[in-house]
């Protein structure tokens, strides 16, 4: 964006440098370049429409030779000021397809997403619900509950295993249904002294933390819209955006709208991530909106804005929830919480995985473990491994490894349709139907 707005440099050189930097995005993260290409394409189309409307207006205003000369001058001026061109859209799109296709063979996710989106939009079955991340959007609705998501997950797993279950690879559902898997309650940090003080005067600290997070998300979105209107109108704006900043911001907001309204896009690519990527383009409008919002403070506007930004920083980085308690712990500040449970590698897990890999090396039997234990331990296994231990997915003949969190807390986390959902795991199912063959007080293995 610095290259795009640096009018002191030659336009052809800036376009080339911009495209080279986009190639770096291709190599950095696949979903980011898809969103950026969509943003660029939308901005380019908007710029063309803008030019078409402007051209028609100029034709209507031509009344004299002088007017025609001014119109030609304005066209040359607009052409010189417009940065985006068709090949700035086409080159990164082609590089993304080349990188995800023949070079790395990682384009399956995009193909799957587009196929499901097409089915949802034009199929007869209707679209399934999107990710609960959409609840942070101004137009996203309330999302789904963990119980609803777990019910969808069980229905999906049962449907995918119906044929194999009929052949005896999985146990009958009648037996599995005796062992329920209710959603686990959210584990919050204990209230601190400050949190207890608020609680003593009737303030719900968990409710306050939730409201602050939701308010931060809504505030940032409102500031984008307010800043955009103020900057485009040119009144009391902190900066005057160039034409490409306007069209790119519209493109980024259009991508966010698609991620919110099309369920499968929110599932596979996340509305929150789309907003973070959109900040590349519309962050200046957030700043302009914030400055406009505090203009009432006069000479104190800058200190007031600094307090607002500091408050957002402290809340969104987890400092406020950590100081008050009553909110799930965040990995950057605590050795606990949902992120710690699913991502932190424990020595007990690794020892159990290495022991099991030696034990199962000569057996033609699948090793089953939960999704996040699998993600941490998969490099240690040379045997066939399945990343699910849900009761409906337990094979009749398999090893079952429960990592640190399922062993200590009887909880397993799954990722389904864009949501992390944690459920209570029925250990008594394994104790009843299988033999415990390994335990190191941090991980257990059943056969």
What does the alpha-carbon distance between residue 64 and residue 70 come to, in Å, rounded to a whole number? 10
What does the alpha-carbon distance between residue 362 and residue 356 come to, in Å, rounded to a whole number? 11
- Quick: pLDDT tens for 285-319: 999 999 999 988 988 999 999 999 999 999 999 99
What does the alpha-carbon distance between residue 40 and residue 86 come to, in Å, rounded to a whole number? 9
Q: Mean pLDDT, the chain, as a whole number?
A: 86
Average pLDDT over residues 233-258: 87
What does the alpha-carbon distance between residue 340 and residue 128 come to, in Å, rounded to a whole number? 30
Checking if the pLDDT of 215 tops 70, the result is yes
Q: Residue 166: its pLDDT value, please?
A: 84
- Of the candidates 329, 307, 302, the one whose C-alpha atom is nearest the C-alpha of residue 318 is 329
pLDDT band at residue 79 using 50, 70 and 90 as cut-offs: very low
Checking if the pLDDT of 71 tops 70, the result is no
**pTM, rounded to two decimals:** 0.79
Q: Is 23 exposed, middle or buried, given 0-12, 13-18 or 19+ CB atoms closer than 10 A?
A: middle
Q: Residue 74: its pLDDT value, please?
A: 52
- Quick: pLDDT tens for 7-22: 889 999 999 999 999 9
Q: Residue 401: its pLDDT value, please?
A: 95
Please state which of the ranges 65-74, 173-182, 434-443 shows the lowest mean pLDDT.
Answer: 65-74
pLDDT band at residue 320 using 50, 70 and 90 as cut-offs: very high
Q: Residue 435: its pLDDT value, please?
A: 93
- Of the candidates 253, 228, 251, the one whose C-alpha atom is nearest the C-alpha of residue 238 is 228
Please state which of the ranges 33-42, 307-316, 355-364 shows the lowest mean pLDDT.
Answer: 355-364
So where are the chain's domains?
A: 2-106, 193-327, 340-446
Q: Is 271 exposed, middle or buried, given 0-12, 13-18 or 19+ CB atoms closer than 10 A?
A: buried
Contact 235, 242 (CB under 8 A): no
Checking if the pLDDT of 430 tops 80, the result is yes
Please state which of the ranges 39-43, 78-82, 280-284, 290-294 shows the lowest mean pLDDT.
Answer: 78-82
Q: What percent of the chain has pLDDT over 90?
A: 51
- Of the candidates 379, 326, 327, the one whose C-alpha atom is nearest the C-alpha of residue 357 is 379
Q: CB count, 10 Å around CB of 443?
A: 28
Please state which of the ranges 17-21, 114-118, 135-139 shows the lowest mean pLDDT.
Answer: 135-139
Q: What distances in angstroms separate CA 421 from CA 49, 143, 217, 230, one per listed residue?
A: 44, 13, 22, 41
Checking if the pLDDT of 133 tops 80, the result is no
Checking if the pLDDT of 136 tops 80, the result is no
Q: Residue 80: its pLDDT value, please?
A: 46
């Amino acid at each position: 964006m610095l290259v795009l707005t640096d009018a002191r440099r030659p336009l052809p050189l800036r376009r080339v440098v911009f495209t080279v930097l986009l190639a770096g995005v291709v190599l950095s993260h696949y979903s980011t370049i898809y969103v950026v290409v969509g943003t660029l394409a939308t901005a380019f189309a908007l710029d063309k429409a803008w030019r078409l409307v402007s051209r028609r207006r100029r034709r209507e205003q031509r009344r004299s030779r002088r007017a025609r000369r001014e119109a030609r001058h304005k066209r040359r001026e607009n052409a010189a000021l417009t940065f985006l061109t068709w090949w700035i859209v086409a080159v990164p799109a082609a590089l993304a397809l080349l990188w995800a296709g023949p070079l790395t063979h990682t384009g399956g996710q995009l193909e799957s997403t587009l196929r499901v989106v097409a089915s949802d939009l034009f199929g007869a079955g209707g679209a399934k619900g999107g990710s609960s991340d959409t609840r942070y959007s101004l137009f996203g609705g309330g999302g789904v509950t963990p119980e609803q998501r777990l019910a969808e997950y069980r229905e999906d797993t049962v449907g995918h295993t119906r044929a194999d279950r009929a052949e005896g690879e999985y146990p009958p559902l009648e037996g599995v249904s005796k062992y329920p898997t209710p959603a686990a309650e959210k584990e919050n940090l204990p209230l601190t002294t400050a949190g207890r003080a608020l609680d003593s005067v009737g303030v719900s600290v968990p409710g306050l933390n939730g409201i602050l997070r939701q308010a931060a998300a809504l505030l940032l979105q409102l500031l984008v819209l307010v800043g955009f209107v103020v900057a485009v109108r040119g009144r009391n704006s902190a900066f005057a955006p160039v034409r490409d900043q306007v069209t790119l911001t519209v493109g980024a907001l259009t991508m966010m709208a698609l991620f919110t309204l099309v369920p499968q896009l929110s599932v596979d690519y996340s509305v929150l991530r789309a907003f973070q990527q959109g900040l590349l383009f519309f962050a200046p409008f957030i700043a302009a909106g914030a400055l406009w919002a505090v203009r009432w403070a006069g000479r104190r506007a800058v200190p007031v804005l600094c307090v607002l930004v500091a408050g957002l920083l402290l809340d969104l980085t987890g400092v406020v929830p950590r100081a008050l308690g009553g909110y799930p712990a965040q990995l950057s500040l605590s050795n606990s919480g949902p992120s710690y449970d699913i991502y932190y590698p424990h020595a007990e897990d690794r020892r159990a995985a290495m022991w099991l890999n030696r034990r199962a090396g000569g057996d033609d039997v699948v090793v089953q473990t939960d999704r996040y234990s699998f993600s941490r331990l998969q490099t240690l296994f040379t045997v066939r491994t399945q990343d699910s231990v849900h009761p409906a997915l337990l094979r009749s003949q398999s090893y079952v490894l429960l990592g640190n969190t399922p062993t200590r807390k009887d909880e397993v986390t799954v990722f389904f349709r864009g949501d992390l959902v944690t459920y209570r795991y029925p250990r008594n199912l394994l104790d009843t139907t299988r033999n415990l063959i390994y335990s190191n007080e941090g991980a257990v293995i059943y056969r």
